[in-house]
Structure 1
């Protein structure tokens, strides 16, 4: 087997004793082991690559494929990054009792970090660039972290970071430091469910390479002064923008020009004014939710053919008007929730074309009274159907028998015949027992 060209660090473990070497002797031993062809690739830790070489006596060589081969001592992790990570751990604590993570797989990743090892590229949650050995990804989500992060925190010295995930930890209602703007190479940032509070700093506008930004479920976080337009105007490459439960308290017209968006979640953000109809027509948008913004008004526009929308959630808003016939073009839609809005007119049979629908909620609108149409029976993939208080009359059984995948059904507060109402209640209980 030829000598591997990208080895930069050698860790030899012989009979329980550890030694580090980049000496000619070490290289000779390594070469001999490799010629024995007892080689295993270990990719079990994220994107890291460790090569373990064993001889017939189970002796083991472990090295990482980071950086070019070099005969001088060349630790895998850049010392500046190692220093920054270790000092970051000194600013926070691991306290399981105060963690707000709901992730059942949560565990304290930094607990395994060891200052005696210079190879931070092999630390849990850390990923390094294969060529430069700089830390480019840090995933400490759901790690039971607790503490304050301020502008001087060494976390912001990791200027080569491309992805940062601190979701599901508890940062003691501290503010997001303005130093976040120093991480200008970030393409992915997730600070959701972290108990950050206060105004989001304007320095977010420096993160021009962001594809994904998630600040959701931080109930005391605000985007007020400056507003949303000032913060995101430079983030035109965004594909995912998740700000649910963040206080925005303004219109979001600026997002109508974000043609790369695939997911926009703005639930319970105290949005105001009229929602731009152009956002519905963004060419790549698959997931849109603005539900539970009671002061947000708007209407459903005419949709284009082959719209990519998969989920549309408008529940608990002030959207109004009639359902457009063009809703039939949302052929990829699997979740539609327009409950407790102010939609009116008749429920269109065009919805029957949405053959991928699994979840349909129409409850609490001002639809005109009428018998429930047979078109509901065409939605044979439905698993959940909520049509409470929708002025429905007539009989239930004829169309319900087609919905063999249903697990949840709510047709209460309608005007079905007495026999149909009793039958509906029996069916509802059966469905709940099967769920």
Structure 2
């Protein structure tokens, strides 16, 4: 009884509850899986665990998301009848068919991802019990042939059956899934679309038919899709299609993607009925004789984005090319041979233009009428053989916020080039062999937020000469210097005081082997630091430069030469919430467990360690199926004839149930921490470990239910006591106040 009292008082004082992964309440979790809460939902992550079957008997009935991606499962049996699973992810396995029994009883299922399997047959009634089903992903399966209705679901809205080797969509295919609003049929060898296959989908808003080897589409195949807003037909060979007939009934169409469809000409009435068209993509088609003005006509007067990239438009662009599209805000002309005099006349009617992209156009100089573009905010002239001197042509763009001059064969940029661009927020000069920067080059860019100088051959970081000496650039938050062969000074700061407000610094792939402790002395406000792809090692306090970065929130140290790391390194980084250590050759020892405990118990979230468990992007619909994990490796001596015992329970960790032999030298951090048996060495964990011994002692037998009931009773008792105490003091205060008032009245 004494021990129980000590235990409950300890938990009350420290407010500690211990379940694995730092959660306050532990549910069932299969032995080979990693389980955690995502917001308030229980996630069971069994991905990439070499499973050959679903661990049905070990699942919690309250599992919200079950991730079985990347295993060797060949068959699905019936799930437990009471399971409340909302999302099932079983992509990249070896399933060959889906039977009616596979999803029987899954009444709460909303999303299911079966992509990347070997599924050739699906029972149309497989999801009949899932009355709230919204999303089904079946892409990358060899389904090939479907006779009759595909699925039965009155609620299904999103269906992805791209890359399923479907050659025919029969007339009954969508009969029992008429609520669909989004269908992706891309990458199927359909070749032709016959009239009537989509007639029943009157609610459809998005249809994707990219890369379907289409050569023939019946003129009225979309005539019933009166609610269609987004249509993608990119990557087909539609040279004989009658576009006015095909698009004639799509009055609500807002987005049309015809990229790389083999179009060689377009008639004047092509888009005459698409009066609500806002975005038109014609990129990557050979349209040498395109008459832009005639094609757009007078009906497309809502057009705001036009993409004509890589259309091989021959000869000069006519002066009236955009006369009927005066609302254009974004124009892509990249990849076409352009000449400055022609551009000058053609762009004249576009005073509302906000974004202009002319990358890789063979331009040696620019139009000299930029003064008409009062609203121009973004300009991309990258990958052009521009001469070094064109300052006067860009000078009128005083409202420009984004300028990309990357990879333009520049070796020199004059000191007055950006002198009038005081609104500039992002400047890209990457890919030019600049070697050095002129004095005062960035002096007037007082609103600059991002400066990109990647792969510029710079051998020294930015120096003070490029900026005004006595000015701190308060808005400059991001500097990217990745890919430069920087020579790091042995002592002193890397950057001048003018850059003291920088918060994002990219020094990836800069051949850095070490950084001095004062490297970031003048840039102590950095919150995000990217040092990936360098040669930083664990030797000689290789990470001591982090001590000055008290505001650091994210640091990327992936793909360096780290073999060990101690959480004490980050003692001066209290705001750190993302640490990427993937791709380092860590040795499996108790330092790994200490880092795990630091993230789990001190930081309170394993997500701090990138790759420790599933990230949010890994458990969303259409998320990345392949995850990168943190690994360590045993040396040969450790691995030889080593058997992992049934280790004792340690707070924040969950042991394997049965002993096992090590056969692989590489281990994920998650699995190593479970099998290591390392004691918690972080100081704050020692009292928790002490309390755990109370549960494991031979002369004390306390059931979990008794502990829970005792804690609940204790919480209620303390709450009642505190409320009583509060009421007592309130009443005493009131009595004293009333007594004082009565005395005054007398």
Note closer, same or farther for the CA distance 1:347–1:172 as it changes in structure 2 (3 Å cut).
same
CA contact (8 A) 1:137 1:164 kept: yes
Structure 2: gaps (5+ residues): 1-80, 82-107, 113-127, 135-145, 148-159, 185-199, 468-472, 486-493, 496-506, 513-530, 535-555, 557-746
Which of 381, 402, 416 is the aligned partner of 1:347? 416
* TM-superposition CA deviations, 1:213-262 (whole Å, max 9, x none): 012234xx3151x5222211322321110121112223153225633112
* Matched residue, 1:230: 294
Q: 1:117 deviation in Å? A: 5.0
RMSD of aligned alpha carbons: 5.4
* Matched residue, 1:182: 248
The two structures have a TM-score, normalised by structure 2, of 0.34
Larger strand share, 1 or 2? 1
1:248 match: secondary structure: coil
Task: Give, in whole Å, the separation in 1 of the partners of 2:382 and 2:408.
Answer: 9
CA contact (8 A) 1:136 1:161 kept: yes
Which of 162, 174, 187 is the aligned partner of 1:107? 162
1:67-106 matched pairs, under 5 angstroms: none
Which of 399, 403, 406 is the aligned partner of 1:329? 399
CA contact (8 A) 1:145 1:171 kept: yes
Q: 1:139 deviation in Å? A: 1.8
Note closer, same or farther for the CA distance 1:107–1:400 as it changes in structure 2 (3 Å cut).
farther
Task: Give, in whole Å, the separation in 2 of the partners of 1:159 and 1:339.
Answer: 45
Q: 1:279 deviation in Å? A: 3.3
CA contact (8 A) 2:483 2:509 kept: no
* TM-superposition CA deviations, 1:128-186 (whole Å, max 9, x none): xxxx98356342155x5233124x35524346364342255x42464543333524525
Note closer, same or farther for the CA distance 1:197–1:190 as it changes in structure 2 (3 Å cut).
same
Task: Give, in whole Å, the separation in 2 of the partners of 1:308 and 1:397.
Answer: 31
* Matched residue, 2:337: 270
1:275-314 matched pairs, under 5 angstroms: 275-276=343-344, 279=347, 282-294=350-362, 298-303=366-371, 307=375, 309-313=377-381
Q: 1:270 deviation in Å? A: 2.9
CA contact (8 A) 1:159 1:182 kept: no
Structure 1: gaps (5+ residues): 1-14, 16-39, 45-57, 65-88, 91-104, 413-422
Q: Higher relative contact order by CA 8 Å / sep ≥ 6: 1 or 2?
A: 1
2:236 match: secondary structure: coil
1:274 match: secondary structure: helix
Note closer, same or farther for the CA distance 1:156–1:118 as it changes in structure 2 (3 Å cut).
closer
- The answer as to 2:215 corresponding to 1:148 is yes
CA contact (8 A) 2:181 2:204 kept: no
2:246 match: secondary structure: helix
CA contact (8 A) 1:291 1:314 kept: yes
1:16-415 matched pairs, under 5 angstroms: 107-108=162-163, 115=172, 117-118=174-175, 121-123=178-180, 125=182, 134=202, 137-140=205-208, 145-150=212-217, 152-158=218-224, 160=226, 162-168=228-234, 170-172=235-237, 174-178=239-243, 179-183=245-249, 185=251, 187-209=253-275, 210-218=277-285, 221-224=286-289, 227-234=291-298, 235-249=300-314, 250-253=316-319, 254-255=321-322, 258-272=325-339, 274-276=342-344, 279=347, 282-294=350-362, 298-303=366-371, 307=375, 309-313=377-381, 315-316=383-384, 322-330=392-400, 333-337=401-405, 340=408, 347-350=416-419, 353-360=422-429, 363=432, 371=439, 373=441, 375=443, 378=446, 381-385=449-453, 397-399=463-465, 405-408=478-481
Task: Give, in whole Å, the separation in 2 of the partners of 1:284 and 1:300.
Answer: 18
* TM-superposition CA deviations, 1:249-290 (whole Å, max 9, x none): 231532256331121111112345521367378454332112
* Matched residue, 1:55: none
Task: Give, in whole Å, the separation in 2 of the partners of 1:426 and 1:397.
Answer: 19
CA contact (8 A) 2:292 2:322 kept: no
CA contact (8 A) 2:236 2:262 kept: yes
CA contact (8 A) 1:109 1:140 kept: no
2:322 match: secondary structure: helix
Task: Give, in whole Å, the separation in 2 of the partners of 1:283 and 1:236.
Answer: 15
Note closer, same or farther for the CA distance 1:110–1:361 as it changes in structure 2 (3 Å cut).
same
For the pair shown, which has the larger CA radius of gyration, 1 or 2?
2
The two structures have a TM-score, normalised by structure 1, of 0.54
Q: 1:187 deviation in Å? A: 3.2
Task: Give, in whole Å, the separation in 2 of the partners of 1:427 and 1:43.
Answer: 40
Note closer, same or farther for the CA distance 1:147–1:155 as it changes in structure 2 (3 Å cut).
same
